[in-house]
Structure 1
Amino acid sequence: MQKIILYTIVIVFSFLTKAVAQEKSFEQQAKEIATNIEMITTEEKNALKKEVEAIDFKVKEGKITAEKAQELKAKIAQERANNIETKVAIEEAKLAQLVQDKVDGKIAFSSSDKKDENLKKKTISILDISMNNDSIYKNSKREYRTTSQFVFAGGMNNLVTDGAVANSDFMYQRSAFYEWGITLKTRLLQNSNLLHLKYGLGFQYNMLRATDNRIFVDTGRETVLETYPITVKNSHTYFKNVYFVLPVHLEFDFSKTEEKDGKKIFKSQQGFRFGLGGFAGVNTNSKQFIKYELDGKKVEQKIKADFNVNDFTYGLSTYIGYRSTSLYVKYDLNPMFKNNNIDQNNVSLGLRFDFN
């Protein structure tokens, strides 16, 4: 029943997204999603805290034993974790739909839209994880040395096999990736705005759609592509890996430095910038989705297994762009599968948005 409700909400959102796409910019909608994710986590954690306090009070009054209290705490913690997973899944679906609409040209993005300024100020304060950034916007002539950003990226994804991505076994346009997270950006030099250290936390979603009606199969020794006996729906048949990652970049920001009353005022992400760095993380889950028709009936399969996918990932990434928008490339240095005879490394190319 919970899944039915979830899917219903996602479908309804898809129609609503298309209806308002012409009225709201990509930036506005992405920030609204970021706000929702933050509120979900905060509300569930606060609710869990109150429930734990109530259990501790019962122990203090002698109504339940300490052992029973631990059992109850574990149960409600799992329930709250499930709530977060379910609700955040809805927001992830919104992100996926949003980036698809952006790729299809249904949403215009304008980082210089002055009408969005109040929205930017409100949203960035919600995403802040280490300081209160409201004062940054209350005093436009002041810039903290460390600022926070909501990051979203999306584009094409594929595998490098034998050092090449040409003649791939996977569809170039249909194989996609997206990534979201929160970063902090610290100016490294006292009197220069050029160098920054950018670091944070995020999630990467790498999806592969194989050619020639094939799917991944774990043979026990290797994970290989094999032809599926039934014709599958290409748009709904794919392999997905999800990673929790820690990205770190050295960013060169060429924003102009202002001066007022003999004092330098540093502004970030107001001009050209590029970053060089990498990421490291862990695989949180691997799933294969298969959809086809059999005897006039639509059949959907979702297979969750390890598929011999490496538990850890690490790689290089770089971006170059203007203000909040950049061209983004990332490459996994370790192969996707553990024991395959031929190493295959994930590579992604797309657009990246850093909402400062």
Structure 2
Amino acid sequence: MQKIILYTAIFLLAFVSNLQAQENDSIKKLSFEKQANLIANTIEKISTEEKNALKLEVEAIDKQLADGKITKEEADNQKMIASQKRARNIEEKVTVEHEKLEQLVKDKVEGKINEGTKKEGTVIVIGSSSNDSIGKNRTEINLTAMKVYQGEEDKMKRLSKRTTSQFVFAMGLNNVVTDGENLDNSDFRFWGSHSYEWGITGNTRVFKNNNLLHAKYGLSLMYNNLRPTDNRYFVKNGNVTELQNGFTNFKESRFRNVYLTVPLHLEFDFTPKKFDKDGNPYFRTHESVRLGIGGYGGIRVKSKQILRYQEDDQCIKVKQKGDFNVSNFNYGLSAYIGYRATSLYIKYDLNPLFKNNAVNQNNISLGVRFDFN
């Protein structure tokens, strides 16, 4: 009987492995643009599924709160845990797909992919497309925006939709505004403290026949880093978090907070109306001056302090994880102005960085933002 079970298990394992091998072979036989399109669709699907799953979890928690089964504090804690889980899922799954895309491009460059017969070939774009004309049968692969256009007609149709999507990446300087002080006297290095953000946004034209006003919304991960001055680091003393002098000479003292945020903006896009060869009007976005005003709200995913120092000829790196009394939720105002895909932005948290400190410190960041359409 045991031998029968063993042989059955081996057979099933071999059968499943064979199916997986056949599926992998089928994918490898696809053209470069189709494989890239599959990866791009998978990345978009990951974000949508995780966002929908988080929404359902939050609704379930709110129902428990409304029914009196849990307290407000328990509900907030469960929401934070759920958001952290979904943020990690997005980051881990998208990283896997990015690795697949990098390998695919490498295989393309090394000539390992059989493209078959192409009438007009394939063009690979990094960043925003310079124009709409790519040829009737040519394929354009925009690696940055994670989009694949099958010919000029397909590209024009998709770019002219009332709702489009963009991959957003932003980076800049980060600091805090302290009550009673100015940034010139900040406790943090001006050039050494940075902010990063990446995510996916949707852009919907508000009026059907006017291109000026757009609603911009999405989901992103935001990383705020602070590097204290004068060889100091953060120490949690009960409900208060304060800067203290270092116990040694630090090579690096960095405090990082990661947030899962939902940005909401009203965008003014001054891209003029265009006309096709038959005289029919259509609209584009991100081809002229843009101005966005709005805000954001999110939940803290994690906080971490990194300390590096030398001891007995050894370089020691310490990572301290915890809440550090940082506010679990963040919300604030933001604005940006730019041309085409590139713009300058500023963000200001309305909530204090630390929940219980006697003096409020509000995070502020400014830098460069890229909306790859």
Task: Note whether the superposition's TM-score is higher than 0.5.
Answer: yes
Distance 2:163 2:238 in 1: 49
Q: CA deviation at 1:176?
A: 0.1
> Is 1:140 matched up with 2:156?
yes
- Which residue is 1:193 aligned to? 211
Instruction: List aligned pairs for 1:144-223, cutoff 5 A.
Output: 144-162=161-179, 164-223=182-241
- Which residue is 2:43 aligned to? 38
Q: CA deviation at 1:38?
A: 2.0
User: Can you list the C-alpha shifts for 1:172-231, whole angstroms capped at 9, x where unaligned?
Assistant: 111000000100000001211000000010110000000000000011131100011210
User: Retained in 2: the 8 A contact 1:121–1:134?
Assistant: no
Q: CA deviation at 1:84?
A: 6.5
User: Retained in 2: the 8 A contact 1:40–1:88?
Assistant: no
- Which residue is 1:52 aligned to? none
Distance 2:88 2:168 in 1: 25
Which protein is bigger by CA-based radius of gyration?
2
Q: Tell me, what secondary structure is at the counterpart of 1:243? A: strand
Distance 1:175 1:247, change over 3 A: same
Q: Tell me, what secondary structure is at the counterpart of 2:177? A: strand
User: Retained in 1: the 8 A contact 2:132–2:155?
Assistant: no
> Is 1:341 matched up with 2:346?
no
User: Retained in 2: the 8 A contact 1:125–1:134?
Assistant: no
In the alignment, residue 360 of structure 2 is paired with which amino acid? Answer: D
User: Retained in 2: the 8 A contact 1:308–1:339?
Assistant: yes
Moved over 4 A (4+): 34-37, 39-42, 79-92, 109-117, 133-137
In the alignment, residue 38 of structure 1 is paired with which amino acid? Answer: I
Instruction: List aligned pairs for 1:88-99, cutoff 5 A.
Output: none
Distance 1:202 1:86, change over 3 A: closer
In the alignment, residue 338 of structure 1 is paired with which amino acid? Answer: K
- Which residue is 1:246 aligned to? 262
In the alignment, residue 363 of structure 2 is paired with which amino acid? Answer: N
Distance 1:355 1:252 in 2: 17
Q: Tell me, what secondary structure is at the counterpart of 1:298? A: strand
Distance 1:139 1:289, change over 3 A: closer
Distance 2:355 2:259 in 1: 16
Q: Tell me, what secondary structure is at the counterpart of 1:140? A: helix
Q: Tell me, what secondary structure is at the counterpart of 1:233? A: strand
- Which residue is 1:311 aligned to? 328
User: Retained in 1: the 8 A contact 2:127–2:372?
Assistant: no
> Is 1:291 matched up with 2:308?
yes
Distance 1:81 1:331, change over 3 A: closer
Distance 1:139 1:339 in 2: 52
Distance 1:331 1:37 in 2: 33
Instruction: List aligned pairs for 1:272-291, cutoff 5 A.
Output: 272-291=289-308
User: Retained in 2: the 8 A contact 1:141–1:265?
Assistant: no
Instruction: List aligned pairs for 1:1-12, cutoff 5 A.
Output: none
Distance 1:316 1:214 in 2: 29
Q: CA deviation at 1:136?
A: 8.4
Counterpart among 127, 133, 141 of residue 119 in structure 1: 141
Q: Tell me, what secondary structure is at the counterpart of 2:147? A: helix
Distance 1:134 1:250 in 2: 31
- Which residue is 1:229 aligned to? 247
Count of aligned pairs between the two proteins = 268
The share of aligned pairs that are identical, in percent, is: 49
User: Can you list the C-alpha shifts for 1:23-56, whole angstroms capped at 9, x where unaligned?
Assistant: xxxxxxxx99x959929959x99xxxxxxxxxxx
Distance 1:176 1:121, change over 3 A: closer
Distance 1:40 1:187 in 2: 23
User: Retained in 2: the 8 A contact 1:124–1:148?
Assistant: no
In the alignment, residue 244 of structure 1 is paired with which amino acid? Answer: L
Give 5+ residue unaligned stretches, structure 2: 1-35, 51-84, 99-125, 135-139
User: Can you list the C-alpha shifts for 1:280-316, whole angstroms capped at 9, x where unaligned?
Assistant: 0000100000010111111111010100000000000
In angstroms, what is the RMSD of aligned CA positions?
3.6
Counterpart among 287, 307, 326 of residue 343 in structure 2: 326
> Is 1:258 matched up with 2:274?
yes
Distance 1:155 1:200, change over 3 A: same
User: Retained in 1: the 8 A contact 2:162–2:204?
Assistant: yes
- Which residue is 2:18 aligned to? none
Distance 1:351 1:233, change over 3 A: same
Distance 1:241 1:116 in 2: 43
Distance 1:178 1:337 in 2: 20
Q: CA deviation at 1:256?
A: 1.3
Distance 2:225 2:354 in 1: 14
